[in-house]
Amino acid sequence: MTGRLNRAQPYAVGLFRIVVGLLFACHGAASIFGVLGGAMGGGTIPAGTWPGWYAGVIQLVGGTLVLLGLGTRAAAFISSGSMAYAYFDVHQSQALWPIQNSGELSVVFCWSMFLLVFTGSGALGADRYLGGRTSPAAEDKSSSEQTPVAA
């Protein structure tokens, strides 16, 4: 059972990356373009407004890059930092716990992106194909020292 799960790990990471990137990009699109319900219940954030508009740009661009698996580690690092800033600047001053200050989404995005900094794009990402690797199996054969993460 563990062997099968270990072999499936790159695909699970890839699917996780795709979902997190898509959701993050949707938040940016809502803030900048007013789609999907818009920012904060409707509308857009005016261009150049600090920090909301810049956060929206990071969400849209960073989320799209993470979704595609292109420059995943760098995009996830910047995205994680923006969510940490959002939590501590916007939410944490209202109350200590995320459940009390409506900061759960910022915390979850922050830590999800931070995880992707360390795991990389997983399977199905553009990073893998641009780096000359065609499949997780080919990567395993080329690097015998790589071991899967086990709990």
Kindly report, residue by residue over 116-131, the tens digit of the pLDDT: 999 999 888 888 888 7
Distance (Å, rounded) from C-alpha 81 to C-alpha 91?
Answer: 15
Q: Which of 59, 58, 68, 60 is nearest to 126 (CA)?
A: 68
Question: What is residue 37's predicted lDDT score, i.e. its pLDDT?
Answer: 77
| pTM tops 0.75, yes or no | yes
| pLDDT-wise least confident of 48-52, 75-79, 82-86, 90-94 | 48-52
Please write the tens of the pLDDT for every residue from 53-84: 899 999 999 999 999 999 999 999 999 999 99
Q: What is the pLDDT of residue 1?
A: 84
CB-based contact 54:90 (threshold 8 Å): no
pLDDT score at 148: 60
Q: What share of the chain is helix, strand, coil (3-state, %, to 5)?
A: 70, 0, 30
CA distances from 33 to 30, 43, 97, 109, 136 (A): 6, 8, 31, 21, 37
pLDDT band at 42 (very low <50, low <70, confident <90, very high): confident
